[in-house]
Amino acid sequence: MSGTIHGVGLGPGAADLMSVRADRLVRTTRHIAYFRKAGRPGHARRIAADLLRPDAVEIAMEYPVTTEIPVSDPRYNACLAAFYADCTQRLADLARAGEDVVVLCEGDPFFYGSFMHLHSRLTGQVPVQVVPGITGMAGAWNATGLPITWGDDVLTVAMATLPEAELTRRIRDTDALVVMKIGRNLAKLRRAVAAAGRTAEAWLVEHAAMPTQRVTPLAQAEAVTPYFAILLIHGQGRRP
Encode pLDDT of 105-155 as tens digits: 999 999 999 999 999 999 999 999 999 999 999 999 999 999 999 999 999
- Cα dihedral 102, 37, 18, 153, rounded to 10, equals -120
The percentage of the chain sitting over the pLDDT mark of 70, rounded to a whole number, equals 99
pTM: 0.93
Q: Which residue has the higher pLDDT, 222 or 83?
A: 83
Q: How far apart are CA 77 and CA 65, in angstroms?
A: 10
Mean pLDDT of the chain: 95
CA angle, residues 55, 35, 106, in degrees to nearest 5? 95
Interior/surface letters 50-77, b for 16+ CB within 10 angstroms, e for the rest = ebbeeebeebebeeeeeeebeeeeeebe
